Amino acid sequence: MPNYSEKPTIIFDMDGTLLDLAYDDFIWNHQLPIRYAATHGCTLEQSTESLFQFYQQHNHTLNWYSTRFWSAKVGVDTLALQHEFKHKVALRAGCLELLNYLKSNGYPCWIASNADCEGLKFKLEQTQLADYFDVIISSETIGYAKESIEFWQQLQSLHPFQTDQAYFIDDTEKVLNSAKKFGIGNLITIAQPSSKGKIRTESPYPILQDLTDLMVMLEQAEDLKKYA
Ligand SMILES: [Mg+2]
């Protein structure tokens, strides 16, 4: 029997959940089209068009999340591009407050990210977040994107956790859907993954307006357990 901790495991997505997705939008939708146009001698319009087509083909696959794949596909070193703008990597508001709260209250915290291993390492170095987490896993290591139920099956066999008690917070509905199919008990989404993007008002899942709202949710769940 795995040695389950008393507190539920809290599993976080990284980009758009703990970190501001504005950085990724900036890299992939603004800077990469400029670099691609310069590399291939085409207009920005043509470059944006070509990249958009590639994006459509590979969205929600492991390739989509692979900087190596994109570097080879588009002829631009996308990891170097990310490093070049590393000062723009930013935590979402309330991130540290929430993580400090979880740590001091004994919640096991994990990151489950579709970012590839290089991308994950780079973001964690930039943000100094690694020490908050007991498990940090990339879908590249698992061999399936989080959109597949196989991701969760593999994660469970590598790092056993109590599925029905766990919390999983992610800004992508397709990912939450596969976690639901697998049986994760508490699924939560994010109102505004990018500080420069739209605010989500509808979702099949509870929406965190602020990351720190999770503290209130957990306290309410603890109270329910106490008085059950
Ligand atoms: Mg995300």
- pLDDT for 119-170, tens place per residue? 999 999 999 999 999 999 999 999 999 999 999 999 999 999 999 999 999 9
Amino acid at 98: L
Binning the chain into helix, strand and coil, the percentages to the nearest 5 are 50, 10, 35
Among candidates 88, 87, 93, 99, which has minimal Cα distance to 129?
99
- Separation of 36 CA from ligand 1 center, angstroms? 24
Q: What is the pLDDT of residue 10?
A: 98
Q: How far apart are CA 107 and CA 102, in angstroms?
A: 5
| Ligand 1 center–CA 225 separation, angstroms | 30
Q: 7-11, 54-58, 94-98, 203-207: which has the minimum mean pLDDT?
A: 54-58
Structural domains in the chain plus CATH codes: 10-19+92-227 (3.40.50.1000), 22-87 (no CATH)
* Cα 40 to middle of ligand 1, angstroms: 30
Distance from Cα 57 to the centre of ligand 1, integer Å:
19
In this predicted structure, the answer to whether residue 57 has a pLDDT above a threshold of 90 is no
Which amino acid does the sequence have at 18? L
